[in-house]
Structure 1
Amino acid sequence: MTFRLRNHRRSVGILAAASVALALTACSDNDSDGEDAASGADSSAVETAGTFPQTVSTKFGDVTVDEQPTRVVALGWGDAETALALGVQPVGASDWLAFGGDGVGPWLEGAYKESPEIIGTMEPEFETIASLEPDLILDVRSSGDQDRYDKLSEIATTVGVPEGADSYLTPRKQQVDMISTALGLPDEGDELNDSYEAMVSGIRDDHPEWADKTAATVALSSEGWGAYIRGSERYDTLLDLGFQEHETLAE
């Protein structure tokens, strides 16, 4: 099942399809002719200038970003894609799905002007991160581990998970809100979220029959089969597309 969004084809059957669609929409929208680049910023990393200071509320307290970040490291699941969607190219990023290369799927092929340093996911290499000299670290959808956050915060200003979103359960909209605010681009974040809502609304209208069907997202691990629940983007995307929550999962 595929759909077209602003001249880009995306599969809604893939993992985290919502974030992917947002990223590609904004990649086309936020192309800069150079006039919008932040004064004194590395134009290869920041295409859209933000407004500062900005404050983001997280599980670890409020985080204030005082000025335009020019060297961003994006570690959380989908954080790099969100930054790219907002016109900011991370100098370091984690490859959660082991795509290789720039750490993003084929739907974002060519999005980077310069390949980022690929950082480990569950166990990031803190020395490597420090060597990149970041002025902002995004870890918005991650484990929410205090030790991880403390080590990252020693390197640079770090935006961690929101309250109640441990174990990679940061909602899609909140992830966009937090990252866009940290980058000084809250209005652009609102536009991304509005684009997503319009996209899934259109898909629901095209497939009214899905409203009568339940859905589940399952995975096989070394411990056996498991199912994702509401709060996981894998599952929430299906619900956004019009499917009903599976009774067993709801319980």
Structure 2
Amino acid sequence: MRSTTVSLLAGSVVLSLALAGCSSSDGGGSKASSRTRTVTDAGGTEVKVPDKPKRVVPLHYSATQPVLDLGFKPVGQGAFEKGIIPKDQAAEIEKIPVVARQEPKLEDIAALEPDLILAPNVYDEETLKALRDIAPVYTFTLRGGDRARWTQRTEEVAEALGVPEKADKLQAAFAKRQKGIAKKYGKVIKGKTVGVIGSYEENNFYAWGEKNMQGSLMVPLGFTWSRQESKIVKGQKEPEATLSNEKLASAVSDADVLFLDSNLRGQVNAFMKTVQKTSLYKQLPAVKNDHVYVGGKNTVAGYTDAHYTLDRVEDALKDLQAE
């Protein structure tokens, strides 16, 4: 796998704007507006939320990043892995208290005096009730059939925050960038089949079908998604699957270019490093042709993640163009 220089480009700019002084949710004892709006969350529940939330607490990173992308700074957040935040923003974001891991820390959340809590759609009703006793709770999509449409999570968070127009602007800018890459590198991309894999446990790898998050990033550029990879996850509730390493060849041997799950430092995890040492991996055509690249996070939290992946794809395309 070739090394790449990590550039954050548009994704970093998004977070920079959020941290540079957005007053919407910057803490400091700000009091919420008495005005409220009624919105319907991902679970179909009508929720009265502040018209202009000022003390927002997302309980999972898949909502924290959209909150930041939309120009808000949360007063609390869910746990996150090191390396998934842009390097130049990590120190600032790490100062925000972590108030949820597997389960939310109710006392810690209450101490922050939030006026809006963003909860993933994985909590039971008892947990949600306890959270609602603290502040209004908007449930967003983390799991389920719609999770592949990662833009939906930003749309949901934007609705809860009362800034849907900002989500529209982020989407328009991202789509424009995709079209620009497709035009600039059209001749390089034409006829190329792409596959994406990760690994999150011993002796297994993770395969992603075309209808998942990474597919929404790369297919619009003009790539053909690995038919083998889409076929091997067919029938799954979500178009993705954990598979034995023995199935590597049957999953992505048709891929001309292979992207690996990584953090936002261009680093793969220990499980992926182990996969890379196997003879089955080394025999993949993309590996033998030295067409393997880091691709950023396979699970896209928001536009910062998505832009980082496009950064890495552009690095790969420049490399392929030079051949």
- The alignment's TM-score, normalised by the length of structure 2, stands at 0.56
Q: Distance in 2 between matches of 1:168 and 1:146?
A: 19
Residue 75 of structure 2 aligns to which amino acid in structure 1?
A: V
Residue 194 of structure 1 aligns to which amino acid in structure 2?
A: A
* CA offsets 1:100-137 (integer angstroms, 9 cap, x no match): xxx8331534665x921013333332222222121111
Q: Which runs of 5+ in 1 are unaligned?
A: 4-8, 12-20
After superposition, the CA RMSD in angstroms is 3.6
Paired residue for 1:70, among 48, 54, 58? Answer: 54
Match of 1:196 in 2: 174
Residue 25 of structure 1 aligns to which amino acid in structure 2?
A: V
Q: Distance in 1 between matches of 2:27 and 2:179?
A: 35
Say whether residues 1:171 and 2:119 are aligned partners: no
Match of 1:133 in 2: 113
Identity of aligned residues (%): 20
CA contact (8 A) 1:57 1:63 kept: yes
Say whether residues 1:108 and 2:89 are aligned partners: yes
Say whether residues 1:186 and 2:164 are aligned partners: yes
Match of 1:244 in 2: 224
Match of 1:145 in 2: 123
Q: Which has the higher contact order (CA 8 A, sep 6+)?
A: 2
Paired residue for 1:25, among 14, 17, 32? Answer: 14
Q: 1:54 to 1:189 in 2, by over 3 A?
A: farther
* CA offsets 1:58-111 (integer angstroms, 9 cap, x no match): 124233324221111112233222212222110111232234xxx833153466
Say whether residues 1:10 and 2:8 are aligned partners: yes
SS in 2 for 1:221: coil
Match of 2:285 in 1: none
Q: In the TM superposition, what is the alpha-carbon distance from 1:158 to its structure 2 partner?
A: 1.6
Match of 1:205 in 2: 183
Q: Which runs of 5+ in 2 are unaligned?
A: 235-323
Match of 1:16 in 2: none
Q: 1:245 to 1:68 in 2, by over 3 A?
A: same
Q: Select between 217-226 and 129-138 the one with higher mean Cα deviation.
A: 217-226
CA contact (8 A) 1:130 1:155 kept: yes
Match of 1:18 in 2: none
Residue 173 of structure 1 aligns to which amino acid in structure 2?
A: T
- The alignment's TM-score, normalised by the length of structure 1, stands at 0.70
Q: 1:145 to 1:198 in 2, by over 3 A?
A: same
Q: Distance in 2 between matches of 1:225 and 1:24?
A: 32
Residue 219 of structure 1 aligns to which amino acid in structure 2?
A: S
Residue 186 of structure 1 aligns to which amino acid in structure 2?
A: P
Q: Distance in 1 between matches of 2:148 and 2:49?
A: 20
Residue 10 of structure 1 aligns to which amino acid in structure 2?
A: L
The structure that is helix-richer by fraction is 2
Q: Distance in 1 between matches of 2:29 and 2:182?
A: 36
Q: Distance in 2 between matches of 1:187 and 1:125?
A: 32
Match of 2:79 in 1: 95
